[in-house]
Amino acid sequence: MPGIKDIARSCGVSASTVSRVLNGDPTLSVTDAVRTMVEAEASRTGYKTPRQRRCPMLRVMLVLSPLDKPGFEEKLIQLLEPEARSHGLQLTLSSSEEIDGIIALGEFSEEEIAYFQSLAPALLLINNLGSDYSYDSIMIDYGNAERQVLVHFLAAGITRIGYAGGVFHRSSSTIGERRAAEFRKLLEDRGLLNEDWFRIGTMDEDSGYRLVMEMEDVPDGIFISDPDTARGVLRALSERRSSAETVIYNNFFPLEGLGGLELRIFSPDMWRTALRMIAEKAKGEREQGMSVFCPARLSADTASLKQGEEK
């Protein structure tokens, strides 16, 4: 099999340049024509770098700001693995071995972003647009998320609207406060806020149950802050023989039989796009950085990454 020197000789460049092109060295400065010529010659001859021969799957590390409860990182990897494998990617939470790309979800400083770029040639930020296009980014349109819920209730003729929410505290963040505050403001602006129907507890099933059972009467529509709280809310609604319509705020995972409407923040389509984008950059199929804006999705469809298409 031809080696690096043979490819270098055919392309009229140094062996070092061939090696750096094929290994995706981000610091290499060559023209697009040279890069394309080297890659085409390597493809024609069937040459693979030692790393490609040793590990056909590209390693992509997930770096996640604390956006949910402990253990969700491992659960998220399990959810994404089938789609990742279809792109030739192996997901990991560790940088102890050499990695080819990083998907970083959350808000990060410029210093942290620079550190990510030093670890891997491909970087995708989710919910952090950053300051340049040296990496990819996906931004979720949070501003339109809760508004979709209110519009849905009003379109259905529902004006008696409540909120059952949980707040979860971690050492570095508090989860649930922002979504409650934004929905409260939407109700206030429309003159629809009823304090008895706007309830906040902790982010768990027992709290959701108590929030609804403590209401003097039950509204016709309830926006629920998370799936754990929703289990308790739905149990309480059943006991109170209420037919209130519910919408469940859901960050990551399928609702597992809860049914009804969900406001999915990180949709299956968003994750499919993210994995495709990081694969393109890690494999050298695209050089230009791209930014994608993605809305939260209000739907009764509980499609997963495995299903691959919407119903």
Tokens 């694969």 belong to: 279
Whether residues 137 and 274 fall in one domain: yes
Question: Domain total for the chain?
Answer: 3
Distance, in Å, from the CA atom of 139 to the CA atom of 18, rounded to the nearest integer, reads 35
- pLDDT reported for residue 68: 55
Residue 306 pLDDT > 60: no
Q: Which range (83-92, 113-122, 171-180, 239-248) has the least confidence?
A: 171-180
Distance, in Å, from the CA atom of 28 to the CA atom of 121, rounded to the nearest integer, reads 11
- Taking only the tens place, the pLDDT of each residue in 103-158 is 999 888 888 999 998 898 899 999 887 667 789 999 988 878 999 999 999 999 99
Selected residue with higher pLDDT from 37 and 219: 219
Task: Report residue 310's pLDDT band, with 50, 70 and 90 as the boundaries.
Answer: very low
List strands edge to edge, sheet with 291-295: 89-92, 58-64, 101-105, 122-126, 136-141, 291-295
- pLDDT reported for residue 308: 43
Residue 54 pLDDT > 60: no
Distance, in Å, from the CA atom of 108 to the CA atom of 114, rounded to the nearest integer, reads 10
- pLDDT reported for residue 276: 95
Task: Report residue 311's pLDDT band, with 50, 70 and 90 as the boundaries.
Answer: very low
Residue 240 located in a structural domain: yes
Whether residues 187 and 158 fall in one domain: yes
Percent of the chain with pLDDT over 70: 89
Amino acid at 206: D
Whether residues 186 and 251 fall in one domain: yes
Are the beta carbons of 224 and 233 closer than 8 angstroms? yes
Whether residues 20 and 115 fall in one domain: no
CA R_g for the chain: 24
Q: What is the pTM of this model?
A: 0.71
Determine the angle formed by the axes of helices 4-11 and 32-45, rounding to 10 degrees. Answer: 130
Q: Which range (85-89, 210-214, 252-256, 291-295) has the least confidence?
A: 252-256
Whether residues 229 and 125 fall in one domain: no
* Helical (H) or strand (E) element with 34: helix 32-45
Whether residues 148 and 252 fall in one domain: yes
Residue 241 pLDDT > 90: yes
Question: The CATH number of the domain where 39 resides is what?
Answer: 1.10.260
> 34: domain range?
4-53
Selected residue with higher pLDDT from 49 and 222: 222
Distance, in Å, from the CA atom of 32 to the CA atom of 284, rounded to the nearest integer, reads 12
Residue 303 located in a structural domain: no
Residue 12 located in a structural domain: yes
- Taking only the tens place, the pLDDT of each residue in 117-127 is 889 889 999 98
Residue 202 pLDDT > 70: yes
Distance, in Å, from the CA atom of 297 to the CA atom of 288, rounded to the nearest integer, reads 28
Whether residues 178 and 198 fall in one domain: yes
Selected residue with higher pLDDT from 302 and 151: 151
Residue 173 located in a structural domain: yes
Q: Is 122 exposed, middle or buried (0-12, 13-18, 19+ CB in 10 A)?
A: buried
Tokens 């990083």 belong to: 102
- Taking only the tens place, the pLDDT of each residue in 64-76 is 876 556 677 888 8
Task: Report residue 216's pLDDT band, with 50, 70 and 90 as the boundaries.
Answer: very high
Whether residues 76 and 42 fall in one domain: no
Size (the chain), residues: 311
Selected residue with higher pLDDT from 299 and 99: 99
Tokens 């970083």 belong to: 104
- Taking only the tens place, the pLDDT of each residue in 154-170 is 999 999 999 999 887 76
Residue 306 located in a structural domain: no
Whether residues 191 and 283 fall in one domain: no
Residue 311 located in a structural domain: no
